[in-house]
Amino acid sequence: MTCSACGATPLVHWQRRLTDAELADYIGLEQARRDEQILLADPQQATPVFGPLPTAADVTRAVHACGQHAIGMNAAALIHAKTCTAPNPATLPACNCTPEPAPPPEPAPTASPLPVSWGGTGGA
């Protein structure tokens, strides 16, 4: 792994969606893996069953950058578009795309009381 802009040792990374060509290669590799599993499967057993092939929304690619070519920390926490050209020194500390919105925060877990035998007040 090296910085995508200059080849230096990376210090940070973020995610972006795969380009159309990268996605086609990824799906081709996944299909080849499935084909090989079917070919190597025991004919006396059930044929392997697979889910649907991945879509563009299912996969991302890591983008690496050195400190000089890193985008901002808040932007790095988001998934970037397949057309994002970061790290691009001309656009730093931002990038040329609109990243996907952050997922909504997960609700806080509900507390369950400890059993009396554990020093709790009773309950589950």
Handedness of CA 102, 103, 104, 110 (dihedral sign): negative
Considering the entire predicted model, what is its pTM?
0.77
Instruction: Give the pair of three-digit tokens for residue 56.
Output: 């563009």
**91: domain range?**
12-103
Residue 123 maps to a domain: no
Residue 108 maps to a domain: no
> Is 123 a residue whose pLDDT tops 70?
no
Domain count of the fold of the chain = 1
Residue 45 maps to a domain: yes
Residue 53 maps to a domain: yes
Q: Which one has a higher pLDDT value, 45 or 124?
A: 45
> Is 20 a residue whose pLDDT tops 90?
yes
Residue 43 maps to a domain: yes
